[in-house]
Amino acid sequence: MLNLEGVTVYYGGALALENVSLSVEEETLTAIIGPNGAGKTTLLRSIIGLKKIHKGSIWFAGKRIDGLSTREIVKMGVSLCPERRRILPEMTVLENLEMGAYLRKTKGEVREDLKKVFDLFPVLEERKGQLAGTLSGGEQQMLAIGRALMSRPKLLMLDEPSLGLSPIMRSVVFKKIDEIRMEGVTILLVEQDAYSALKIADKGLVLENGRIVQESSGESLLKDENVRRAYLGI
């Protein structure tokens, strides 16, 4: 469904991604783990067209998408829940969620999805009329995930969705991500909580210094000695 071929990206003079090739199969969950600064966020931003790539190509559903605008890529069915939330603080919770569905025409479906998001995060329904900037940090994180879901993506990319969430919400979110995958959405997940991510992943990639250094099933990465030491602390 998603293919990256030899993608190289620079930030200023610094090499952020070097010759990255990967493929994400339909209806699977791929987890990307790696230290901070490895290029995980850059990878997601490149896919959705927020960062220009300097070499290589990116393909989604058989079409080349590098060079397309973010708007066009979102319209094709890709969505991103960005790091650091990036919610719209001066809009209400409901308006933020509606913005997530901005490119969709079918009102009935949007309403359905809104209900789904409220089922997932009841606190968002309680606070739907409140300005998003007045939510707590963790609640803003929930809103960012909800907003990403509102575009009903075929490929959902989540950048550290568990950041700032309580232990109980963290397990709710991981369970929900697993469920969303079961419903047929393809997921690309970037997480510091490598254990939780690999546990639900079909495939795991380890990104270090802008390069993919390991690629395997989620399960076998969980068992891998190096991964355990570096990313799981066990």
Place of tokens 């990319």: 157
Q: Which stretch binds other proteins (CB under 8 A): 1-9, 70-78, 96-104, 160-168?
A: 160-168
Which residues ranging from 162 to 181 are in contact with other proteins (CB under 8 A)? 163-172
Q: Which is nearer to other proteins, 106 or 171 (CB)?
A: 171
With CB under 8 A as the rule, give the number of residues binding other proteins: 32
Q: Which is nearer to other proteins, 56 or 138 (CB)?
A: 138
Q: Assess 56 for contact with other proteins (CB under 8 A).
A: no
Q: Closest Cα partner for 32 from 149, 148, 154, 157?
A: 157
Q: Burial-class residue 223 by CB neighbours within 10 Å (0-12, 13-18, 19+).
A: exposed
Place of tokens 């969430």: 165
The dihedral sign for the CA sequence 118, 160, 68, 86: positive
Encoded amino acid at 186, one letter: T
Is the CB of residue 188 less than 8 Å from the CB of residue 207? no
Q: Assess 160 for contact with other proteins (CB under 8 A).
A: yes
Q: Assess 90 for contact with other proteins (CB under 8 A).
A: no
Is the CB of residue 140 less than 8 Å from the CB of residue 148? no
Q: Which is nearer to other proteins, 68 or 163 (CB)?
A: 163
Find the shortest distance in angstroms from Cβ 124 to other proteins.
10
Q: Which of 7, 9, 24, 135 binds other proteins (CB under 8 A)?
A: 135
Q: Which is nearer to other proteins, 21 or 171 (CB)?
A: 171
Cα separation, 191 vs 24, in Å, equals 17
Q: Which is nearer to other proteins, 151 or 162 (CB)?
A: 162
Q: Assess 86 for contact with other proteins (CB under 8 A).
A: no
Residues with Cβ within 8 Å of residue 223, at least 6 apart in sequence = none
| Residues in contact with other proteins by the rule CB under 8 A | 34-37, 83-84, 123, 134-139, 141-142, 160, 163-172, 192, 194, 230-233
